[in-house]
Structure 1
Amino acid sequence: MLKDGPITIPALLRRFWRRIGLTWLLTLFETALTALIPLFIGFAIDGLLAQDTHALFQLVIVMAALIVVSVARRAYDTRVFGTVRVEVGKAQAARGREQPISMLNARLGMGRELVDFLENDLPMVMAALVQLVVSIIVLLAFDTMLAFAGAVAVVAMLLIYALFHRRFYRLNGHLNQQNERQISILEARKPRRLLSHLSHLRRIEVRLSDTESGLYGAIFIVLLGVVVFNLWYATTTLHITIGAIFSVVTYSWEFVDSAIALPVSLQGWSRLSEITKRINPAT
């Protein structure tokens, strides 16, 4: 059972740290194997061009291990975080006896979002960080300029997100507040009031979507610039094999893919910050 303290991400981690820690270890192992695959593909290409299949067999072993770990991790995740959701719901129901049903119902859904963050977003951040580090190391092994381009892109991406954080927090607050009223509005059975409620939700969601579009448009321009620059630099400046060029381009794209996970998670954290404050009003 959760204690009487606030229901927060740190509180859930303290209560379930053994189970969650194991899922995260499996996630990191899975990510490390995934990060190695493009490098082994590059080795396999060069090996096959030289009539050598040794690197190809190494690639098969890595991919087989990845399949086993990923299947086991997903099966375990479902059971662990399902238990956490039950405990969070029980704690919220016990503390919310005096709350209006509409508010309690909405906040039960918000509480599940905390667990969703632990199950989906935080592992995604860890996986992204591992992939970023591996990508930077591999690119650095080929040429310093390739890694430097990636590092500059990460800094630019975080600065861009900082410009949007307060707006995300404010809009998510409006959305959560409106959702808390939904059941009471439905109980009133007044079509005009319901239409006004649904229209209000739509306006907030459109504003959130427009904000996301602006954020990710700006970030994608920066990150795709890294791929184009690294492709140009590798083919015009470096004297490397075809397999190595493939690895450079692949790890540049992996860098982009993993870097995108960071603002996604930061956006989720902005929403969770508002939710945590809302479901723990006494803290």
Structure 2
Amino acid sequence: MSKETVRKTKMHHSFGDNMLGVVCYIIFALCALVCIYPFYYIFINTISANDLSARGVILFWPKGIHFQNYISALRIDGLFQAAKISVLRTIIGTVGTVGASAFLGFMFTQDNMWHRKLWYRLVVATMYFNAGIIPWYLTMRNLHLTNNFWGYIFPAVVSPFYIILTKTFVESVPKELQEAAQIDGAGIMKIFFRVMLPVIKPIMATVAIFSAVNQWNSFQDTLLLVTDTKLYPLQFILYQYLNQASSLAGLANTNNSASMAAAVATSQTPTSVRMTVTIIVVIPIILVYPIFQRYFVKGIMIGAVKG
């Protein structure tokens, strides 16, 4: 390739283009800062002197750094059991939702499915019509799903939104793949497991992220269905902490040694309890996102646009 050709292929950027690029980077950096700062603010307050944090003077840099808040929070009764429930409901609920969404999304694209359009419309209709909380609660009670771990799982297995995303993605897959498998004698289940599942991994990862976040953050179902403290998830514990932070701060202090409880800088306050438990609850789900991020972007774009 000659120097003249290389010169022509290079894009010329004017001064205005460069300035526009700089402005865009500044705007993006500010937007990123706005998104990151709340997490940073909460974190630095959890490791700063609690008396300063309670007065709201910790804004940009931690002062009087200590980690007693996390030690005290981990000593509060029920926290590890709540973490276990949250992890179990997130894993089992996500697997169930992804599996059901993948299978139903695939089946709703099959022309030979009995009354396919009717069933699909009935599923979509549930997005717009809701009987309300009281009929839902009565149904759950009649199904013996109150004070039952499976009450967290079964209502979320079939989600119209995830089914629509998966169905749209499946429709973007060339039909020749299924036709070739049918010619080789594969049945509908074999086509689903052997042909479609490896192809629709991006949308499954997208559904997995949505479902995992919803399961991890959910606590309204606990308010309505659960009175057994052994079934409380972390988010419900956080909800209680936000409402009872003063008493919980005293509980955490009594679990510390006398010398630590006497120290003003490390003794628990309502603010320190709220922020510490918030970090404990939020960090795990934040760490999950980077694992699925590359699938998430591809899946959500194809699932939302192609159709």
TM range (shorter): 0.3 to 0.5
Using the size of structure 2 for normalisation, the TM-score is 0.34
Q: Which has the larger radius of gyration?
A: 2
Using the size of structure 1 for normalisation, the TM-score is 0.36
